[in-house]
């Protein structure tokens, strides 16, 4: 899975990637720098239910940015610093997201993904 996000994670300024299911469960997470809190400690169900209509979103905060994208598995959230090349991140998502599909029954985390 980390391999799938390799190009995104290699973009300068990317701090991490989290893939949430539509119910808010963390399906995958990887961070390139320390984060204040593990996203698995929160219940995200209501949050993702409230943004279920959103297909894509760019969010600019005072001290960073986030890119949110709906996939077939759930929502991909990419955390980055304010200077990260977001257009490149979006394009990387265009390229990789077709590979991110529910797979047929198999064991382990791999059952969620198809490359």
Partner 1 sequence: MTKNVLIVDDDKDLLVSLKEGLGKYNETFSVFTSENGLDATEKLKKHTISLVVTDLKMEPMDGFSLLSHIMENYPDIPVIIITGYSTPEMEKLAKKGGAVGYISKPFIIKDLAVKMLTTLRREADGGTLHNVSSGMFLQLVEMEQKTCTIRLEDTSSGRKGVLFFKDGELFDARMNDLQSKDAAYEIFSWDQVVLSIQNVCQVKENKIQSDLQGLILEAMRLKDERSGAEEESPDVPEPIPVIEEVKTEKPDPVSSVRSRIEKNLGARSGVEDIYLDSSWNDLISQMSRLGAFFRIGKIKSVFVDIGETRNFILKQDEETTVVAVSPKCPRDRIMQILN
State the residues that interact with partner 1 by CB under 8 A: 7, 10-12, 35-37, 39, 42, 47, 50-51, 53-66, 68, 77, 79, 85-88, 91-92, 94-95
Question: Quick one: 63 exposed, middle or buried, by C-beta within 10 A (0-12, 13-18, 19+)?
Answer: exposed
Nearer to partner 1, 63 or 105 (CB): 63
Of 12 and 72, which CB lies nearer to partner 1 in the complex structure? 12
**Least distance to partner 1 from the beta carbon of 110, Å?**
22
Extract the runs of DSSP E, i.e. beta strands, from the chain: 14-21, 26-31, 56-61, 64-70, 74-80
Residue closer to partner 1, measured from CB, 101 or 111 = 101
To partner 1, the closest distance from the beta carbon of 50 in angstroms equals 5
The residue to which tokens 């969620």 are assigned: 112
Nearest to 79 by CA among 97, 95, 61, 96: 61
């Amino acid at each position: 899975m980390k391999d799938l996000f390799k190009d995104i994670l290699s973009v300068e300024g990317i701090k991490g990637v989290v893939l949430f299911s539509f119910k808010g469960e963390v399906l995958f997470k990887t961070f390139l720098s320390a984060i204040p809190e593990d996203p698995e400690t929160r219940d995200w169900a209501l949050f993702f239910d409230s943004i279920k209509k959103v297909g894509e979103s760019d969010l600019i905060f005072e001290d960073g940015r986030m890119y949110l994208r709906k996939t077939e598995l759930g929502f991909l959230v990419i955390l980055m610093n304010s200077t990260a090349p977001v257009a490149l991140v979006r394009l990387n998502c265009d390229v990789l997201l077709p590979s991110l599909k529910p797979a047929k029954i198999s064991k382990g985390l791999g059952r969620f993904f198809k490359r």
